[in-house]
Amino acid sequence: MNVPTKFAVFAPLFPPATLGGGPIRTLKALVDSVPTDTQTLVFTSDRDMGQSNPLPVRSNEWLAIDGVQVYYGTASSLRSYLRGLGEVRKERPEVTYYNSFFNPRFSLFPQLLGRIGFWRGAQILLAPRGEFGRGALAIRPLKKRIAVAVYKMLGLHRGIAWHASSVNEAEDIRAVFGETTRVLVREDETSLPIVAEKPPAARVDGPLRIVFVSRLNPMKGLDLLLRSLTLTQATITLDVFGNSEDLKYVQDCQELIDELPVNVRCTLHGSIAPESVRGIFAEGDVFVFPTAGENFGHVIAEALSVSCPVMCSDVTPWSDVLRQAGCEVLGSRDPQEWSIAIESFAALSPHEVRERRRAAGAAFDCWSQVDKGEHVFALLARSAFV
């Protein structure tokens, strides 16, 4: 059997794009950590999420970015987009890796081309990035059901392999495509340090400092957090950082912010540079994240890496790690229960907060030092499916 060594990665966003949040950083880490005998090409957009102006890169040509060949195509121009696909084809990839299922330009259409032989029989490895989680499928469900039905009708699901970031995501994939679906489970890559940054010597006295860092869309649960804060009596500051991905949702959240009681002060800061994320968490007391589901949750790893405690939904691969750290893991979407958990954290003494931070950092250290196994591309070469 010939072992594939040339992988073409298709992704709607890649650095220097930032507005897509953690998935961009995860993908960069995956590309940067490929086996030494593997060549990786990236085909991506020359626009950041929702932006009309191009990124500060040369468009529609191959560029060497940190040792990886990247093609930033103008996907809004059909001619430029098709030319970019042709440039990838010239490289004769042996595997096409799709960093999304539902994206039409960077997943569905290229896969359709593959079905008619455009990629000369290249294997397909598809990472849906949590798109088949129950919470994700509940958003615009009819549109997604139609897309899956057409995908199956065209037979695009036959003979492909899936990359799941956790056993739970593997189950989500099989729930949609059947129990015999070939799924390779490998936790996502990160470029985080091996040892967590230690917490400050003492907590600065004052209100409880809650941090929320994520894209602003219904999946991430900012609205649930805001509803819970309307029920609290504690003095709290909430700092929200993230790209306004869904403007209607952001407007709804702003209305909730306007209704917060006087004991809660909330500030929307907008998007931030990836290199600033860990510094933001380091300044907070707790990261409250009522997400409706994460296939990995890079932002959780970032919080723990600076010893920031996390209060999170029980729909991520991090639940066991967070419980080990003494963090709160909630299985409810009831604002009242989240309010009670927040009130309990706000009632902790400075010493108890510091101990929570120490436990968060220690849990990160244990997680980061566990052998994650071979890179997903190496596993594909060995057909290590589960």
**Tens of pLDDT along 281-301?**
999 999 999 999 999 999 999
Q: Given a cut of 60, is residue 1 above it in pLDDT?
A: no
Q: What's the whole-number average pLDDT of the chain?
A: 94
C-alpha 125/C-alpha 136 separation (Å) is 21
Confidence of residue 382 (pLDDT cuts 50, 70, 90): confident
Q: What is the pLDDT of residue 19?
A: 93
Q: For the chain, give the percent of residues with pLDDT over 70.
A: 97
Q: For the chain, give the percent of residues with pLDDT over 90.
A: 89
- Here the tokens at position 286 are 């707790």
What is the average pLDDT across 48-59?
Answer: 95
What is the average pLDDT across 31-59?
Answer: 95
**Residues 49-85, buried b or exposed e (16+ Cβ, 10 A)?**
beeeeebebebbebeebeebbbbbbbbeeeeebeebb
Rg, Å, the chain Cα set: 21
What is the average pLDDT across 328-336?
Answer: 95
Residues in the chain: 386
Give the angle subtended at the CA of 246 by the CAs of 146 and 299, to the nearest 5°. Answer: 100
386 vs 220, residue with greater confidence? 220
Q: What is the pLDDT of residue 302?
A: 97
Amino acid at position 317, single letter? P
